[in-house]
Structure 1
Amino acid sequence: MKHVTIVVPKGNANLSSITGSYEILTSANAYWQKQGHKSMIDITLAGVVSELKLDAGFITVHPTPIHDLEKTDLLIIPSAPYAAQLIRENVELISWIREQYVKGAEIASMCTGAFLLAATGLLDGKTCSTHWSAEASFKQMFPKINLQPDKLITAENGIYTNGGAYSFLNLVLFLVEKYFDRQTAIYCSKIFQIDMDRTSQSPFFIFQIQKNHGDDLVCKAQTYIEQHLTGKISFEELAAELAISRRNFDRRFTKATGNTPVEYLQRVKVEVAKNALEKGRKSIFEVMNDVGYSDDKAFREVFKKITGVSPLDYKARYAKEIR
Structure 2
Amino acid sequence: MFEVSLVGPTMQPVRSFTGPALLPERSLRNALPAGILVLPSFYGDVPASPALLRWITRHYDAGGCILASASGVRILAETGLLDRRDATCNLADRRAIAATRPAVRLSPQAALVIDGRLITAASITPTIDACAHLVSRFHGETAALKFARYANSARQLAGIGVAGGQQEHGDARMLVAQRYIEQHSCAGITPDDVARHIAMSQRNLARRFSAALGVTPVQYILQCRIAQAKRMLAKPNVSLRRVAIETGFSDEVVFRRAFKQVAGQAPSTWRALIDS
- Measured after TM superposition, the shift of residue 190 of structure 1 is 1.9
- Measured after TM superposition, the shift of residue 64 of structure 1 is 0.9
- Give, in whole Å, the separation in 1 of the partners of 2:17 and 2:91: 23
Check if 1:73 corresponds to 2:32: no
- Give, in whole Å, the separation in 2 of the partners of 1:60 and 1:104: 27
Check if 1:141 corresponds to 2:119: no
The one-letter code of the counterpart of 1:195 is: A
Q: Which runs of 5+ in 2 are unaligned?
A: 159-276
Check if 1:63 corresponds to 2:25: yes
**Equivalent of 2:80 in 105, 116, 121:** 121
Closer, same or farther: CA 73–197 of 1 in aligned 2, 3 Å: closer
- Measured after TM superposition, the shift of residue 63 of structure 1 is 3.3
- Give, in whole Å, the separation in 2 of the partners of 1:152 and 1:95: 27
**Equivalent of 2:4 in 33, 43, 46:** 43
SS at match of 2:4: strand
SS at match of 1:71: coil
SS at match of 2:7: strand
- Give, in whole Å, the separation in 1 of the partners of 2:100 and 2:108: 15
Once the two structures are superposed, the pairs formed by residues 1-323 of structure 1 within 5 Å of their partners are 29=1, 41-50=2-11, 51-81=13-43, 83=45, 86-88=46-48, 90-197=49-156
The answer to whether the 8 A contact 1:87-1:119 is kept is no
SS at match of 1:187: helix
- Measured after TM superposition, the shift of residue 54 of structure 1 is 1.5
SS at match of 1:161: strand
CA deviations 1:292-320 (Å, max 9, x no partner) are xxxxxxxxxxxxxxxxxxxxxxxxxxxxx
The answer to whether the 8 A contact 1:129-1:148 is kept is yes
SS at match of 1:87: coil
The answer to whether the 8 A contact 1:106-1:158 is kept is yes
- Give, in whole Å, the separation in 2 of the partners of 1:162 and 1:44: 21
Q: Which runs of 5+ in 1 are unaligned?
A: 1-28, 30-40, 200-323
SS at match of 1:174: helix
SS at match of 2:33: coil
Let me know the Cα RMSD of the aligned residues.
2.1
The answer to whether the 8 A contact 1:78-1:113 is kept is yes
- Measured after TM superposition, the shift of residue 141 of structure 1 is 2.1
Rg comparison, structure with higher value: 1
The answer to whether the 8 A contact 1:129-1:161 is kept is yes
The one-letter code of the counterpart of 2:132 is: L
| 1:312 alignment counterpart | none
SS at match of 2:6: strand
- Give, in whole Å, the separation in 1 of the partners of 2:127 and 2:139: 18
- Give, in whole Å, the separation in 2 of the partners of 1:156 and 1:195: 20
The answer to whether the 8 A contact 1:132-1:164 is kept is no
SS at match of 1:44: coil
- Measured after TM superposition, the shift of residue 82 of structure 1 is 5.9
- Measured after TM superposition, the shift of residue 128 of structure 1 is 0.6
Closer, same or farther: CA 174–69 of 1 in aligned 2, 3 Å: same
SS at match of 1:109: strand
- Measured after TM superposition, the shift of residue 197 of structure 1 is 3.6
The one-letter code of the counterpart of 1:67 is: R
- Give, in whole Å, the separation in 2 of the partners of 1:61 and 1:170: 26
- Between the aligned residues of both structures, percent identity stands at 17
- Give, in whole Å, the separation in 1 of the partners of 2:113 and 2:91: 14
Larger relative contact order (C-alpha < 8 A, sep ≥ 6)? Answer: 1
CA deviations 1:137-171 (Å, max 9, x no partner) are 22122111110112222222311111223321111
Closer, same or farther: CA 80–57 of 1 in aligned 2, 3 Å: closer
SS at match of 1:171: helix
- Measured after TM superposition, the shift of residue 71 of structure 1 is 2.1
Closer, same or farther: CA 87–109 of 1 in aligned 2, 3 Å: same
SS at match of 1:43: coil
- Give, in whole Å, the separation in 2 of the partners of 1:119 and 1:126: 13
CA deviations 1:264-323 (Å, max 9, x no partner) are xxxxxxxxxxxxxxxxxxxxxxxxxxxxxxxxxxxxxxxxxxxxxxxxxxxxxxxxxxxx
- Measured after TM superposition, the shift of residue 198 of structure 1 is 7.9
